Structure 1
């Protein structure tokens, strides 16, 4: 499992990045969601890596 935390605002981001954050379940700054560690989630995190912080749990 990995924890994904949104650390920056999605305002002024590209629409596909906003949708990726929503698909990860992140809607506001400092919100944390847990996901399984798989290539699909890793790809989503890579796309918005400048907006999120990832910790392994």
Structure 2
């Protein structure tokens, strides 16, 4: 199990981006979310946070 930095839960299926884990469910939601959807900004914000964490490590 790995900690997903998007949904903030432990998941078993997913991938690492910037050495940080994103679960398969979140990956699918990110890809399927329209840029006009309010959730899109949430995903962008969380991905930026992941990038910041990766750059600090």
Q: TM-score, normalised by structure 1?
A: 0.33
Higher helix share: 2
Kindly indicate whether structure 1 or structure 2 has the higher relative contact order, using CA contacts under 8 Å at least 6 residues apart: 1
